Chain A
Amino acid sequence: MLRGVVQEKQGTRVLDGLDVTLPGGEVTALVGPSGAGKTSLLRLLNRLDDPTAGTVLFRGRPVAGYPVRELRRRVGFVFQAPVMFPGTVADNLRAAVALAGPGEAPVAADERWVAGLLESVELDPAYAPRDTEHLSGGEKQRVALARALATRPEVLLLDEPTAALDPEVAERLMSTIVRVAADSGRTVVMVTHRLAEARDFTTHTVMMEAGRLVEAGPTRALFERATHERTRAYLASA
């Protein structure tokens, strides 16, 4: 949940008094034109940035009140352009749990664990020993998703996870994401430019423009009868 959030970057206001509630346990689509501030908003939730003004709350508590590394492990974040760490697919997944520090790792990061994680994002466990350098964009996106899931986050933030993918690959990834969320009761917040994706795969939709909230509500309601002219015009292109 965000309250009166203002974010300035190099003197320009990219979030301008934003009040948004992202419902727990749901898959929320964050939509709006390019430059609306969607990425900036996700970065606040994982505390990669702090807002210039206003408060970001996680489970009713200001994010600044959590130990920052604990917060980041509980709120996973998959970037728009997936960044692979050097090494194999398995190395990438193990890195995520190793970061928790000795003794804190929630699981034994053995081969079975790696295979299970890969299966959960619908990658063949045979990928485990492959070098991440030679993966395709869609494969990297899945590894990044699996890596984010490795810390068992309660919330998963996804920034245009399908933007760089073919429609068919994108659709498969979306169903994976929705299933991963449903399996674990996880909250998912995903930015997307593909409105059909928002309509078909999410339960809640937040529409932003120019750093402000335009409208938010159940996805069905928003797509069928949006109250705001801007939302109607934007969603009509779906």
Chain B
Amino acid sequence: MLATLALAAAGDPTTLDVSWLDLGLAGALVLAAMGISAWQRLGLGRGFAIGAVRATVQLVVVGYVLVYVFAADRWWLVLLALAVMLAAAAQASTGRVGAPRRVVLPVTGTAMLVGAGLTLAYVDAVVLRPGQWYDPRYLIPLFGMIVGNAMNGAALAAERLTSEMESRRGEIEAYLALGATPARAAAEPTRRALTAALIPAVNALMVVGLVTLPGMMTGQILAGASPLLAVRYQIVVMFMLTGAVALTSALVVLGYRKRFFTAAEQLRPGGPA
């Protein structure tokens, strides 16, 4: 979404304009969803209505913020926007993990900061090299995608590590009792959590272009870019997301695993702390 907006803003003048009336007409499609909900008494009507309004308001606000950030052209404003995106995603990463937020958030937050930050820095400084390193037209949409994927990887890794560490308590303590390090004792849960986090990234690489047409590429094409250039951007994006997810997930399992053990290398009875 961010990508589409950002690129459309910079897009070529032949792009079709979408008026407020057009938006209202598109809203009819949400009415269809609400109709289905009413028909089957799913009770989702309110959710759709509120959701449609929220999505509109959020995106319009983001649009204006981006217009401002683009126009201001200040490096610190761009970094501030990136920080807000990171903070929002870090918050969202802790939801389904099954452990207290105060334990999970520092781990996923730090992992996302390092994993997403390094990936963005690499793409910016080494791969794309825009004339101005802080060009928001690149950094903001790229970081939006990186952070979104890093968030999913972090959440999957943490969620899976929580459940594996719990279900394998016996095995972990059997290793500890023999004098194993916590890292060795938790090797199997670590591998499983990391695999769970990385499989979506592998799958995404496999099916892109066949089953999925990524939003960024579609957005660029809609905004008038040549499909061949859009494809090249998309390849960069796919590789970038793979790296970001792998790095972030690895940092999550390494940081989070420690929380399950005491300083004396005992498995905490009440889960991570």
Contacts and interface: CB of A to CB of B under 8 A. Distances in A.
Contact of A48 (B171, B184, B267): B267
Contact of A99 (B173, B180, B266, B269): B180
A49 B266 contact: yes
A46 B177 CA distance: 7
A69 B170 contact: no
B264 A64 contact: yes
Interface of A: 9-10, 46-50, 64, 68-70, 72-73, 76-77, 79, 81, 83, 85-86, 95-96, 99-100, 147-148, 151
Given A79-B170, A83-B170, A85-B171, A50 B178 contact: no
B269 A72 contact: no
Contacts of A100: 179
B266 to A, nearest CB: 6
Contacts of B262: 50
A72 B180 CA distance: 9
Interface string B162-175: 00000000110111
Contact of B265 (A9, A68, A79, A85): A68
B178 A147 contact: yes
Given A48-B173, A83-B171, A85-B174, A69 B269 contact: no
B184 A99 contact: yes
B264 A79 contact: no
Contact of A72 (B170, B171, B178): B178
Contacts of A46: 177
Nearest to A73: B179
A49 B178 CA distance: 14
A51 B265 CA distance: 14
A48 B178 contact: no
Interface in B88-133: none
B15 interface: no
**Which 9 interchain pairs have the tightest Cβ spacing?**
A73-B179, A83-B174, A77-B177, A72-B179, A69-B179, A99-B180, A83-B170, A96-B178, A68-B265
A50 B264 contact: yes
A69 B185 CA distance: 12
B9 interface: no
A99 B178 contact: yes
A64 B179 CA distance: 15
A154 to B, nearest CB: 13
A148 B178 contact: yes
A47 B184 contact: no
Nearest to B181: A69
B225 interface: no
B179 A48 contact: no
B264 A47 contact: yes
A126 to B, nearest CB: 24
Nearest to A75: B177
Nearest to B262: A50
Given A99-B178, A148-B178, A69 B265 contact: yes
B215 to A, nearest CB: 41
A194 B163 CA distance: 36
B176 interface: yes
A9 B266 CA distance: 14
9 contacts: A47-B264, A49-B269, A50-B264, A72-B178, A73-B178, A81-B170, A85-B175, A148-B178, A151-B178
A70 B181 CA distance: 11
A14 to B, nearest CB: 12
A69 B177 contact: no
A161 to B, nearest CB: 14
B266 A69 contact: no
Q: Which of A48, A70, A147 has the most CB of B within 10 A?
A: A48
A53 to B, nearest CB: 16
A151 B176 CA distance: 13
A70 B264 contact: no
A81 B184 CA distance: 21
Contacts of B181: 69, 99
Contacts of B177: 46, 48, 72, 76-77, 79, 148
Given A48-B176, A70-B179, 17 more contacts: A47-B264, A48-B266, A49-B266, A49-B269, A68-B265, A69-B180, A69-B265, A72-B177, A72-B178, A73-B178, A76-B177, A79-B174, A83-B170, A83-B174, A95-B178, A148-B177, A151-B179
